[in-house]
């Protein structure tokens, strides 16, 4: 049995590196398509200011892109160093989309990245615009392939467990690629990136307008970002609702925790607008409830029930007991491959094997598992409620706030009243951190809500880690956090420096 401290530290290290990496990803996704929009206007109209806009925002894009690549490469190596059994168990499946991402999407965006910066004087207008579009396409291809891999961890479709090799094997590549969770996660995640890029441009332009600098440049950039942002923010809200439907169908335990729904209610379920979950009592000490709203949002019907935490744990208690029989049968088959009785027993309980493995957190030999251990494993099968409940609401609240900001930005652009509402421009500036906070909250909900699983319903997290020492993990965590913090400081310094400088050598008409 791997020490639980090692598992927790491995999770902490991966969470820290992933969160640092995702500081740069959404801005890369968003700015890439904004560059396409700006350069397309330049190609169609021939107005130099749009070329200047593309080059200036492209400079900030380049700084961010470089840091994103630097922080992202190490994450893939951590699957082998910190999560060795996970890599062994599902490597044939999980590795496929990651390999395609490296060989296709990463090479594409890296090649176009160089052509974007060094091709302005060497390529015709339409040729350079094509390069910019391919650069944006590459960043989005990277996103969808990585999210396909992540979605498989949330819903392991197109795969089957092989009791001979003791590994998961890919049986349907199309099911892996077209996993509904992958599709909803992709559109929701990239839309959040578009929101991030748009608010980034709005915030810097608002600063220029408040200072009275580069006014024409700022007005035009502001207008492009406002239009792109309002569509993106609306997309995040709509597609986030679609993602919630998928969660309700495939991960009811996550949804129950997000909604702090302890008891199964008659359909349609109510919605806890605000609540104070109590884990010990498995109830809410306080709640403001909206009748019917929870059922209508999460099932789009008035007849489908949403199971509560208590009922999910009661059902999972049966699955844990059944899964223990599957694990015992699998061990017997390992000792005697010709044991037909064990093979038949495994076939009957195979669907619950992952739940039986939860018991190994408390007993290496599941045959010695006590009823208390089985009950505790069932309790573990649902993540803690309060972190998911509040993190989800922070994310949603920021999403609606940003949508309102973009609507205000469109109104300012159409009416050309930027200077009349300096307080509103300050809101755009001070609201710059909002999309990053919302993105981090979204990833926390997705990943923490999957616990206690690495692969939902199949492989528990406590069985996935490598056999490392706590000291080595603390050392690597300190090294990663220290180095990444230096990179983040460098990123912020360069971003602030070039944002303050603004577009270099503005043409005469800017005056």
For 91-222, where are the E strands, in sequence order? Answer: 159-162, 167-170
Q: Which two tokens stand for residue 428?
A: 């755009």
Instruction: Compute the mean pLDDT over every residue in the chain, rounded to the nearest whole number.
Output: 90
pLDDT at 511: 43
The 3-state DSSP class for residue 282 equals coil
CB neighbours of residue 432 within 10 Å:
16
Report CA torsion sign: 485, 147, 171, 317: positive
**256-302 pLDDT, tens per residue?**
999 999 998 888 888 888 999 998 888 898 889 888 888 888 888 88
From residue 402, give the alpha-carbon distance in Å to each of 25, 199, 429, 456.
Answer: 19, 8, 12, 32
Residue with tokens 């956090």: 481
- Which DSSP category does 463 fall into? G
pLDDT higher than threshold 50 for residue 396: yes
Structural tokens at position 225:
């970002």
Q: Is this model's pTM higher than 0.85 or not?
A: yes
pLDDT for 164: 86
- Tens of pLDDT, residues 397-437: 999 999 999 999 999 998 888 888 899 999 999 999 999 99
């Amino acid at each position: 049995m791997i020490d639980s401290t090692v598992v927790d530290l491995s999770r902490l290290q991966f969470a820290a590196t992933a969160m640092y990496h995702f500081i740069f990803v959404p801005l890369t996704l968003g700015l890439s398509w904004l560059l396409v929009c700006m350069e397309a206007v330049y190609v169609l109209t021939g107005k130099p200011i749009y070329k200047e806009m593309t080059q200036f925002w492209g400079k900030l894009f380049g700084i961010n892109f470089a840091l994103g690549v630097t922080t992202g490469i190490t994450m893939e190596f951590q699957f082998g160093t910190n999560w060795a059994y996970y890599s062994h168990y599902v490597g044939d499946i999980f590795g496929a989309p990651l390999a395609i991402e490296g060989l296709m999407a990463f090479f594409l965006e890296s090649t176009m990245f160089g052509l974007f910066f060094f091709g302005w004087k060497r390529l015709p207008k339409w040729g350079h615009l094509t390069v910019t579009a391919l650069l944006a396409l590459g960043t989005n291809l990277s996103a969808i392939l990585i999210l396909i891999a992540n979605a498989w961890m949330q819903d392991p479709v197109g795969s089957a467990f092989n009791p001979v090799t003791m590994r998961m094997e890919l049986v349907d590549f199309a099911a892996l690629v077209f996993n509904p969770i992958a599709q909803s996660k992709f559109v929701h995640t990239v839309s959040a990136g578009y929101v991030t890029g748009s608010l980034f441009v709005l915030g810097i332009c608002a600063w220029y307008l408040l200072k009275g600098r580069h006014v024409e440049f700022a007005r035009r950039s502001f207008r492009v970002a406002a239009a792109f942002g309002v569509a993106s923010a609306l997309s995040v809200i709509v597609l986030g609702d679609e993602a919630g439907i998928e969660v309700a169908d495939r991960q009811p335990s996550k949804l129950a925790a997000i909604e702090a729904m302890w008891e199964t209610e008659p359909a349609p379920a109510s919605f806890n607008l605000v609540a104070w979950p109590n884990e010990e009592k498995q109830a809410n000490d306080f709640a403001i409830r909206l009748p019917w709203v929870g059922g209508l949002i999460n099932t789009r019907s008035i007849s489908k029930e949403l199971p509560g935490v208590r009922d999910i744990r009661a059902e999972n208690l049966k699955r844990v007991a059944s899964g223990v029989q599957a694990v015992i049968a699998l061990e017997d088959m390992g000792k005697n491959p010709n044991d037909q009785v064990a093979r038949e027993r495994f076939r009957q309980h195979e669907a619950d094997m992952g739940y039986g493995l939860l018991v190994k957190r408390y007993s290496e030999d599941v045959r010695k598992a006590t009823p208390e251990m089985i009950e505790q494993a069932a309790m573990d099968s649902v993540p803690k409620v309060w972190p998911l409940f509040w993190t989800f609401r922070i994310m949603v609240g920021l999403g609606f706030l940003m949508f309102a900001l973009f609507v205000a930005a469109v109104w300012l652009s159409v009416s050309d009243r930027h200077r009349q509402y300096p307080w509103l421009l300050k809101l755009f500036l001070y609201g710059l951190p909002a999309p990053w906070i919302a993105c981090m909250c979204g990833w926390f909900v997705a990943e923490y809500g999957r616990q206690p699983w690495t692969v939902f319903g199949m492989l528990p997290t406590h069985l996935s880690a490598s056999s490392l020492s706590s000291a080595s993990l603390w050392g690597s965590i300190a090294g990663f956090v220290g180095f990444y913090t230096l990179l983040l400081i460098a990123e912020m310094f360069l971003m602030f420096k070039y944002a303050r400088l603004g577009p270099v050598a503005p043409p005469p008409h800017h005056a």
